[in-house]
Structure 1
Amino acid sequence: MRGPTSGALFGYIGSVMALSPLDTFYPPLNETSYIANTSVGTYGGLYQAGTHGPTGGKPYGSYDYCSMPHPREYQLPDQAAHGKAKLTKLIYLQRHQRRTPYNILPGGEDQAYECDGVRPYLYGGPNSDHGMQPVPVYAQTYEDPNDPFKTGVSVNSTCQYPQITIGGVEDGYQHGKDLRNVYQKMLGLIPERPNQRVWFRSSESPLTQASAGAVLRGIWPDYQGALPLHQMVSSVDTVNAGYSCNAISSTLNEIKSTAQWTEHMKVTEELRSRLALMLGAGTSSWQTTFDHFCDNFQARLCNGYRLPCNISNSSDCVTMEMAEEAFRAGDWEWNYYWRANEYATKYIQAVEGLFIGEIVSDLKAALDGTSSIDYSHIFIHDGDIGPMLGALGINALRWPGMASNIAFEVWEKEGSKFARVLYSGHPVQTIHGSLDWLPLSQLINILSPYVPEDIAALCG
């Protein structure tokens, strides 16, 4: 692999091994030299987990793609010490827990994913316990060896793609337990039983719905009832790219026409060519960004599998060094999409502006005392977490990992409202400073420019 194109990173290399957990969230992503510098490794990031069990990262709080830190080792803000302030509202956004990949290698998968350990339940029932209750059926994936369409790419799996894995379910339960310990037992906000002042939402994806079930069970381990998980109609959903907007694709084309994006493609040309030859991944969808490669490699490593090999040559395999360069390129791309390019504001408005507007409205209701919800929990995707962090002005944006989370906390002190914003357990470090404690009105002002005044005009 080529070395760095400038000396800008050399000051970082010697200290990479001594990074604090918070530091691992903020690598120097504005230079393409970061991508090709093998000395950087993962910049303290973690990319491996077993098939089973929750992950915690070592040390806890580090950037852990397989399971981003839950708010476990919680530190009260100084302003809330000695009971001088009270937490009055929590808006909690999280990506789903870990899963199988979206993107199957075009040349074929040389390992079989095993999903018999998790049951994706699929059934409907009446809204009363007194009516007929359905059998709790679940999906059991299988393959027919005589299927005439079972040609070409080899998958050989008991999983759907994507699908939450058993490790994702188990980590989701731990995620909920951690939320209960902090926001119920320590801070007294989440009630002991669900009530009318809690509210839950997901995208239409089974990934977010399955994550919700696991996380909420961790919060309320003894609750026996059912809970509503609100969802919008998929064609107009304000999360997970639900609505149609021409400005999204046109702005993305502008982003990929910049000199910086072109330089990034040059820096990664050698790696992309090697992967294309090895894995049969030479099509444009695999070669124009690192989304597909990273997704495939991350899903393998996060569920106890090894990196892939050529389907026809078991000695021709992706090395960890190659995967690390792909991950650095993926991080660079996410930072460029939502932070570093000249079209970032317009892109965030088009992709996520309506959802940001919903959060702003909720925060305004908290500010003026009209909010009817104390705790809302919204299960979404990396494509929602990324632009939200971009709107907050995060200093450096790595790819939001599995279960990455943003906690919007509203505090009241001496009659005034304040905000605190945590990203995977840490106060977000931004161009506006650390969002550890600021007037709630200031947080609203930070987010408001990303809410489109006229979404119909913006989207054409």
Structure 2
Amino acid sequence: MQLFSPVFLASIYAAATTASASPAFAERDQSSSQVATTYNTPVSQYNFDDASYNYCQATYPSAQSYSSVPDATLEMVQVVVRHGDRTSYVVLPNENETWNCDGVEENTYLHVTGSSSRNTTGSFKQVIEIPKWNSKYGFSNQVWAGSCDIGELTDIGKAQHRKLGKQLREIYVNKINFLPPWLKDTSSVYFRTTYIWRTKNSGESLIGSLYPGRDIGSDDAIPMHTYPQSIETMIDNPTACPKLNTYSAQIYGSAPFQQFLKDQGPLMSRISGILGVSGPMWTASWSGYVDALLPRKCHSKPLPCRYVNGQKTTDCVTEEDVKQAMRNGSFEWTFKYRDHPLSGDYARLAIGSFLATLRDQIQDHVSGAASGPKFSLYSGHDTTVAALLGALKASNADMLWPPYASNLVFETWKKKDGSYVVRIVSNGHVLQLQDGQKWCDLSSCPLDSFNKYLATLIPTDIAAQCANN
């Protein structure tokens, strides 16, 4: 998850101020530990079937259930993933948990371009150090105890992507012989990640299992491509595209969303009171609540309790509170990325340039314009996956908040008649589309139809369209 930037928070502050004045956000009796919450939001797409949903772990594609597109040959695979399990971005006012990431250490070295030597600096190991005296001499309640930074990939997250890489190897190497068993030419694999360490480490873990046993020499190194933060296209980037702030303010300030906030206000007030948090992030959106609660639940840590005069009480967040907060977060993102009248405009500027990257990579391959890689990995965030799913008009079941290690696979196949089709697999199953929005059968979508739909989502002049005027 990418928590709201200060710029984005400012853009929705006016809507948040109006909503927070509603009686739904009034302080509740702190002695009560239960709230009766109902769904009255007048949005028809609000009913999600989340009985088998697991935020902590996405479902992987399986070699046992994998089958080829009939009468076709696989030409290219593009995989977009969310990073694995991570620590929270929210350090609570009364934080008393310990987070350890001792198994997530990265050795790095430098080498001179063109030099025959393997490296010129020796090896260095990244270590997060949180001194034990931090709360006494440092910055109290700015981080927890242990060896994890905020938002850092955990040992579990690393293992999740190692398993995903293994599953992909079983399919594309062992079962259908699409990829070679050993990577002799690193140019046959393309790896791009956002500038955040957890996406880098997740991608490294995945490719480390897809192609194990590689040497650490520079000749064996797979290039890890990143864009500068200022022009990143795999996440919503309002800094580069100010118009996104305008669209966000309109979406979050719309009557249906404000009604949703009002309906869920009692629960929001209850949880924020227990957490001891306040401000626009905690009144205008459920994203912060998902981030504060779900990482702790995934690690079986105690759910937060209210503190009064420095003393912990028995008024705590419940399992039902967490489930409801998760549903609210899923609705919020579905409304933002798929269902609001401005969602298409938002998608065009938030993820359209990345969709163009995927499209152009396919086109270069099928046209023979470039001998591109057979396998590409794009390691991103929940916002990356959610924005793609919303833009594609995914079904409600697929629009649930992307779990850790979510995987979206774009396969390009060549039919016997020379035509091309695209198959999209989401967390192990063919992506299903929202009722009334079935623009193509994604088990075998003709490339022309695929490109025609993507053309509606790709900006024609990103600089001009992003200008906030």
Tell me the TM-score normalised to structure 2 length. Answer: 0.82
Q: CA deviation at 1:234?
A: 2.0
Amino acid at match of 1:452: P
Aligned to 2:264: 268
Shift of 1:93: 0.7
In structure 2, the residue matched to 1:214 is 205
**Kept in 2: contact 1:255–1:341 (CA 8 A):** yes
Q: What is the total number of aligned residue pairs between the two structures? A: 412
How many Å apart are 1:391 and its aligned residue? 1.7
Contact 2:100 2:148 in 1 (8 A): yes
Distance 2:281 2:169 in 1: 41
Structure 1: segments with no counterpart, 5+ residues: 9-27, 35-39, 46-62
Q: Does 1:172 align with 2:161?
A: yes
- Gaps of at least 5 residues in structure 2 are 1-34
Letter in 1 for 2:335: Y
Is this contact kept in 1: 2:41–2:256, CA < 8 A? no
CA contact (8 A) 1:338 1:348 kept: yes
Report the equivalent of 1:11: none
Measured after TM superposition, the shift of residue 367 of structure 1 is 3.6
Offset of 1:256 from its aligned partner? 1.1
**Is residue 83 of structure 2 the alignment partner of residue 96 of structure 1?**
yes
Alignment partner, residue 442 of structure 1 = 449
29 and 429 in structure 1: CA distance in 2 versus 1, 3 angstrom threshold: farther
Residue 370 of structure 1: aligned partner: 369
* 2:105 match: 119
User: 1:407-438, CA deviations, whole angstroms, 9 ceiling, x for partnerless residues?
Assistant: 11011121221110011111111122541112
C-alpha displacement at 1:207, in angstroms?
A: 0.6
- In structure 2, give the amino acid aligned to 1:136: F
- Alpha-carbon separation, structure 1, partners of 2:60 and 2:365: 24
**In structure 2, distance between residues paired with 1:7 and 1:267:** 7
* Structural RMSD (CA): 2.3
- How far apart are residue 308 of structure 1 and its match? 1.9
SS at match of 1:422: strand
Distance 1:150 1:69, change over 3 A: same
Task: Determine helix, strand or coil for the equivalent of 1:94.
Answer: strand
**SS of 1:429 mapped into structure 2:** coil
Aligned pair 1:227/2:222, yes or no?
yes
Report how far residue 282 of structure 1 moved: 1.9
Matches within 5 A, 1:21-420: 30-31=45-46, 34=47, 43-45=50-52, 63-73=53-63, 75-76=65-66, 79-80=69-70, 84-105=71-92, 107-121=93-107, 123-126=109-112, 128-145=116-133, 148-152=137-141, 155-194=144-183, 195=185, 196-224=187-215, 225-242=220-237, 244-311=240-307, 312-372=311-371, 373-396=373-396, 397-414=399-416, 415-420=418-423
CA contact (8 A) 1:122 1:139 kept: no
Task: Report if the CA contact (8 A) 1:74-1:425 is conserved.
Answer: no
SS in 1 for 2:338: helix
Is the counterpart of residue 429 in structure 1 residue 432 in structure 2?
A: yes
Rounded Cα–Cα distance in structure 1 between residues aligned with 2:370 and 2:314:
60
- Are the structure 2 counterparts of residues 374 and 306 from structure 1 closer, same or farther at C-alpha, using a change threshold of 3 Å? same
CA contact (8 A) 2:37 2:266 kept: no
Name the SS for the 2:259 alignment partner. helix
Q: Quick one: structure 1 residues 330 and 7, their matched pair in 2 at CA, closer, same or farther if it must change by over 3 Å? A: closer
Percent of aligned pairs sharing the same letter: 25
Partner of 2:30: none
Distance 1:404 1:374 in 2: 21
**Partner Cα separation in structure 2 for residue 77 and residue 114 of structure 1:** 40
Residues of 2 paired with 1:283 and 1:7: CA distance?
Answer: 23
What is the CA–CA distance in structure 1 between the aligned matches of 2:37 and 2:305, rounded to whole Å? 25
Q: TM-score, normalised by structure 1?
A: 0.84
CA distance in structure 1 between the partners assigned to 2:304 and 2:427 by the alignment: 29
Q: In 2, distance between residues paired with 1:159 and 1:141? A: 8
CA contact (8 A) 1:179 1:219 kept: yes
Deviation of the 1:350 alpha carbon: 1.5
What is the CA–CA distance in structure 1 between the aligned matches of 2:143 and 2:388, rounded to whole Å?
37
